């Protein structure tokens, strides 16, 4: 008997909610349909499975799924410097069910480097929240004489023919960070592009390239094992991943600063109420110890911002990296 009463009561509650929605008109039903946590959502990732951006997206999706009980699907759309993923976002309904996990490159670096671009971050993206940031590191091989950034700069000045640095690809943040180092130190560093961080690290260990720039997480395990040496990081404070490594600012190069990051954005015209609900959901997830610990183990620092704060970060980084992109001479066209 108890089971019958409970089932009837549950049905009555559902019916009452439905009648209330119908009485309130189509706007209430539309709001329910647009709710980002009452329907299956997807997060588009512009990089392949296993990349740092992909892993961050999966951790966030798991946290949201746990909090809401609704599926969050990861959809990898790599290629064309992220433009395939951006196109998929632009073609999606602005109802909160499709988001993009955007690394700094998509709203900042690609628009700066491309002469012709089929998207405008200010027009086509609606910021939700920055998820995490990560330091860029300068590393040298185990036999390199430099153990600090000033020693590296002195070595580069004394050995201009050998003053090269590798990075995981042209036009990326590590490449531009190397350009920033050269400009700040007044030295000429020749860029050697690699296809990824893995062959770069191998050549650093073997001495084929004297220095390299990349995400600290790409170098950390080899640094800890003594196979390469990280001598400086780009953040405003030391990374919790390698607290023994001083920042560039600490070593007298305050202009060498800037972190990579990943953030969630939605398609243009997504209602503000939906954006705010996603923002609150993400902020709550990033306050949990479980998600924070997983992100830190991945090599990134959990942040969490409001939509307005993310918009300000994008604007500030566009101003910061614009002169560096120009100095690098790199273009996507």
In this predicted structure, the answer to whether residue 264 has a pLDDT above a threshold of 70 is yes
Q: What is the DSSP letter of 192?
A: E
Task: With a cut of 60, say whether residue 35 has pLDDT above it.
Answer: no
CA distance from start to end of the chain: 72
Residue 126 φ/ψ, nearest 5 degrees:
-120, 115
Is 136-251 the same fold as 38-132+261-328? Answer: yes
Other CB atoms within 10 Å distance of the CB of residue 237: 12
Amino acid 20: pLDDT: 41
Q: pTM of whole model > 0.85?
A: no
Strand ranges across the sheet with 260-267: 72-76, 41-45, 98-103, 260-267, 125-134, 301-302
**CB within 8 A of 95, min separation 6: which ones?**
33, 34, 270, 274
Question: Residue 37: which pLDDT band, with cuts at 50, 70 and 90?
Answer: low
Per-residue confidence band for 36, with pLDDT thresholds at 50, 70 and 90: low
CATH topology of domain 38-132+261-328: D-Maltodextrin-Binding Protein; domain 2 (3.40.190)
Higher pLDDT, 20 or 84: 84
Residue 13 pLDDT exceeds 50: no
Task: Kindly report, residue by residue over 149-159, the tens digit of the pLDDT.
Answer: 999 999 999 99
Give helix 289-298 / helix 52-68 axis angle, nearest 10°. Answer: 170
In this prediction, residue 196 has a pLDDT band, given cuts at 50, 70 and 90, of confident
Name which CATH class applies to 136-251: alpha beta
Enumerate the domain spans of the chain: 38-132+261-328, 136-251
State the pLDDT confidence band at 6, using cuts at 50, 70 and 90: very low
| Nearest-angstrom CA–CA distance, 47 and 79 | 7
């Amino acid at each position: 008997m108890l089971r019958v009463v409970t089932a009837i009561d549950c049905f009555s509650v559902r019916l009452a909610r439905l009648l209330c929605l119908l009485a309130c008109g189509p706007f209430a039903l539309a709001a329910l349909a647009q709710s980002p946590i009452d329907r299956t959502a997807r997060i588009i990732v512009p990089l392949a499975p296993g990349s740092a951006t992909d892993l961050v997206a999966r951790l966030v999706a798991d946290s949201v799924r746990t909090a809401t009980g609704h599926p969050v699907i990861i959809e990898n759309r790599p290629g064309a410097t992220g433009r395939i993923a951006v196109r998929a976002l632009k073609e999606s309904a602005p109802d909160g069910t499709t988001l993009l996990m955007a690394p700094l490159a998509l709203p900042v670096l690609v628009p700066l480097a491309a002469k012709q671009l089929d998207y405008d971050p200010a027009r086509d993206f609606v910021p939700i929240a920055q998820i995490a940031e990560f330091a860029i590191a300068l590393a040298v091989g185990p036999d390199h004489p430099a153990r600090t950034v000033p020693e590296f700069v002195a070595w580069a000045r004394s050995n201009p023919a050998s003053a090269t640095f590798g990075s995981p690809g042209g036009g990326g943040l590590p490449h531009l960070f190397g350009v920033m180092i050269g400009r700040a130190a007044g030295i000429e560093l020749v860029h050697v592009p690699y296809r990824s961080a893995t062959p770069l690290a191998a050549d650093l260990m073997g001495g084929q390239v004297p220095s390299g720039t990349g995400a600290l997480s790409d170098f950390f395990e080899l640094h800890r094992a003594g196979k390469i040496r990280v001598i400086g990081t780009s953040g405003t404070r030391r990374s919790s991943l390698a607290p023994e490594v001083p920042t560039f600012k600490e070593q007298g190069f305050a202009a060498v600063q800037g972190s990579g990051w990943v953030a969630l954005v939605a398609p243009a015209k997504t209602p503000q109420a939906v954006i705010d609900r996603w923002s609150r959901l993400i902020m709550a997830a990033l306050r949990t110890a479980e998600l924070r610990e997983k992100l830190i183990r991945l090599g990134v620092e959990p942040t969490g911002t409001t939509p307005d704060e993310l918009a300000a970060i994008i604007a500030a980084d566009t101003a910061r990296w614009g002169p560096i992109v120009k100095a690098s001479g790199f273009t996507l066209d």
